[in-house]
Structure 1
């Protein structure tokens, strides 16, 4: 889908700038150009579409339905399953996360979506079947959905809403005001469009600096971390390999389709599959670029809690994988 962006990035770096392939700086710059362009396009499209959805969708009914106590955690599972059918990387999932927050969906439910969306999607499932077989794929999909569901429940129980940033709280207030306007007037789509457009530009203006800084950090990690660095510390005889793999993966940034071939190489070098998958989950589900994006919505304390809870759940998943595979 985004091959044309990759071709443009290759052309700019290797043809226009005459940089050599395989060099740290050229690979980092290529990564930065490609991912910045891709994510900005995704942000533009997703935020605009979410603006349309938020202006028409009966969010109160969804909120009330997802918030019913009698669901006994089903709302978190539903949100996690919704994450499965939205094929976004962690950074691209953030606009939808903002849309959930804006719509008043409980924070733990939005976290369940945010965690699962980058981990489990049709691209990851297809690659997993091709690389590791159907049995491993089924276990991975189930564990990814459970990871989002359980993490969402834990985060909701911590009552973290007061750790949202003032910007996010203002978005919530504005959303309620806009919803009241749309309810009071049976506004046509053409009349809603300027409000949706202005809201999209406002959100983009607030997010873009974090996107650029975050992707720059990811690009440096992508271009400068030496080959063989991870294999050295994730050997089978290291009992701390799973937490080490997970924690080491967090500063990196890559989507599932990009990291799965790396996971295959790690496994082929004798690294346990559970350890390699924990590494993948850390790379795909948690990253510094994602943290930079979330900083617009969450305080640093909330980001730390979110990353801590998810990291702990990924580590547990890694040990479980190693024990059953």
Structure 2
């Protein structure tokens, strides 16, 4: 058993944490630039280069794998799968299917509209909408590379629970009448489910890598830049005073700070990593991440064009309260994960 653990740790260090890349970038910064990574400027440059390269390598590989899997689940097939399942089972399936879809809340909106116009239960579509930007295989593996397996797995589990719970509550409230009328009137034609060859799936996966990277690269660079600033230039006592253990409202504050921001989980993780390294409690860090990915202001504006204000407010309130509760629970039981 000890040998298996050592093998897993070695693979985790080399494939996910990329310690080889960390050392390579350290050597480059210290020998080519002439700066120590223990100094502010050198540490910032090292953080930015290392995190940027690591995220792009992991992201490219994971997008390819997930897109290949996703090629088996076009929207028509997904509608067929969800159409015959109602109740809690439908919410669970909707949340799980959200894990193999696009990587930010805004890009999930067209699929959400398609599901709604197809007559799928409202709760199921909202379970999908919550889980789609929040949890997926890519986020699991990248979170493992930064925070370890325990925190990454726990994050995915609570994200799915939030998606299922949120969709179930919306379903029980009977809020179908608060969907904008034009959405229900969109013509829903049953397209033919095309069968793709292996080469076509590979080509599709490559195209998805290019398309998604071209869409999110700027947010990754911004996130890594902010992370390097927090990590090396903002004193720890300032961060701890604002959202540390001594502030009982830190989780609420982190959630509210995250909502106006726009980004996906890949641009948010470097900021979360820097906060975590500054001894910000894990629940506070995860609440910030969840708020950015699930409740970004642009996605709420887009959703406001699809549903009426009452449903929008209820959705935002349920997800916000869920994120805050999750944050406090993680902080309370952080000894399990760290």
Normalised by the length of structure 2, the TM-score is 0.61
For 1:74 and 1:286, how far apart are their aligned partners in 2?
Answer: 25
Where 2:315 maps in the other structure, the secondary structure is: helix
Match of 1:243 among 252, 255, 260: 252
Query: Is the counterpart of residue 286 in structure 1 residue 306 in structure 2?
Result: no
Deviations 1:142-188, CA, capped at 9 Å, x for gaps: 111111111111111111111111221322xx22xx45xx8xxxx99
Q: 1:161 matched to which residue of 2?
A: 176
Q: 2:141 matched to which residue of 1?
A: 126
Greater relative contact order structure (CA < 8 Å, 6+ sep): 1
Q: 1:296 matched to which residue of 2?
A: 305
For 1:93 and 1:282, how far apart are their aligned partners in 2?
Answer: 16
Distance of aligned partners of 1:223 and 1:133 in 2 relative to their CA distance in 1, 3 Å threshold:
closer
Superposed, 1:1-325 pairs within 5 Å as 57=77, 59=79, 62-64=82-84, 66-67=85-86, 73-171=88-186, 174-175=187-188, 178=189, 233-325=242-334
For 1:300 and 1:84, how far apart are their aligned partners in 2?
Answer: 27
For 2:193 and 2:126, how far apart are their aligned partners in 1?
Answer: 33
For 2:77 and 2:152, how far apart are their aligned partners in 1?
Answer: 34
Query: Comparing 125-134 with 228-237, which one deviates more in the overlay?
Result: 228-237
Distance of aligned partners of 1:58 and 1:286 in 2 relative to their CA distance in 1, 3 Å threshold:
closer
For 2:285 and 2:77, how far apart are their aligned partners in 1?
Answer: 40
For 1:223 and 1:266, how far apart are their aligned partners in 2?
Answer: 13
For 2:78 and 2:256, how far apart are their aligned partners in 1?
Answer: 40
For 2:120 and 2:318, how far apart are their aligned partners in 1?
Answer: 20
Distance of aligned partners of 1:137 and 1:61 in 2 relative to their CA distance in 1, 3 Å threshold:
closer
Distance of aligned partners of 1:274 and 1:188 in 2 relative to their CA distance in 1, 3 Å threshold:
closer
Where 1:281 maps in the other structure, the secondary structure is: helix
Give every structure 1 segment of 4 or more consecutive aligned residues whose post-TM-superposition deviation is greater than 4 Å: 56-61, 220-224, 226-232
Normalised by the length of structure 1, the TM-score is 0.64
1:60 to partner: Cα distance = 6.2
1:265 to partner: Cα distance = 0.4
Where 1:260 maps in the other structure, the secondary structure is: helix
For 1:170 and 1:266, how far apart are their aligned partners in 2?
Answer: 46
Say whether the 8 Å CA contact 1:263–1:276 is kept in structure 2. Answer: yes
Distance of aligned partners of 1:121 and 1:57 in 2 relative to their CA distance in 1, 3 Å threshold:
closer
Deviations 1:240-291, CA, capped at 9 Å, x for gaps: 1111211221111110011011001011112101001001000011111101
Deviations 1:83-141, CA, capped at 9 Å, x for gaps: 11224211111111112112211111111111111111222112111111111111111
Unaligned runs of 5+ in 1: 1-45, 190-219
Say whether the 8 Å CA contact 1:87–1:122 is kept in structure 2. Answer: no
Distance of aligned partners of 1:230 and 1:104 in 2 relative to their CA distance in 1, 3 Å threshold:
farther
Say whether the 8 Å CA contact 2:140–2:156 is kept in structure 1. Answer: yes
Unaligned runs of 5+ in 2: 1-66, 195-221
1:230 to partner: Cα distance = 7.0
